[in-house]
Structures are given as structure tokens and as C-alpha cells.
Amino acid sequence: MVAHPGPSTPASEGGLLGRFTFPQTRTRWVVPEAAYAPRMVAKSPPPIRLLDGAGRLSDGGVDPARRDRLEVAWDRTTEVAGALGGHDHGLTPIAAP
């Protein structure tokens, strides 16, 4: 399901999917890998779509206006993902454009 309340703005279009590995040791769970894939919710043209940030940015046929929005969504998402030190602790994007 894709939810998209309100108007499309750079602040509301970005998001991410997380991928975490949780192996269990003899005494506890650990997280040796934490990654995320930036996404963008595109409201127009209908229907609403969830776009792969890296995949669409590496596609040479993307409309320039859509590319600009994808770049903003990518930059905001990676900034927020690293804002609390995530990148310093191994959180990485799954793919980069």
C-alpha cells in the first residue's frame, strides 16, 4: 500500500525501505548489516507510484522534472538516514545512482 496524504512537496515525496540482517549469536541478536533503499512517491500522473530512487536516477529516459524531484528525494532521504549517526555506524544505501 502506498499512502500519500496532501499535496506533493519535496518534504513529502521521499521515503525508504530498510534491509537489516539479524543473526543470533549464542547469547543475543546482532545487526551486522543495515541498509536502506531511498524511494519516492510520485503522485502524478496517476496512479500513485512508489519509485526506486537509484534505479530511476540511473535511467537516462527519465523526464528532467521527475529527475530533479528524484534527486531531491534521494538527497533528503540519505541526509535523514545519516542524521543521527547512522552512516557512521554502517548504515548504507543499498544502491547509489
> Which class for 97: exposed (0-12), middle (13-18), buried (19 or more C-beta within 10 A)?
middle
Please report the pLDDT score of residue 27 as a whole number: 92
Predicted structure pTM score: 0.71
Please report the pLDDT score of residue 47 as a whole number: 80
Please report the pLDDT score of residue 3 as a whole number: 59
**CB 82, CB 27: distance < 8 Å:** no
Ranges under pLDDT 50 in the chain: 1
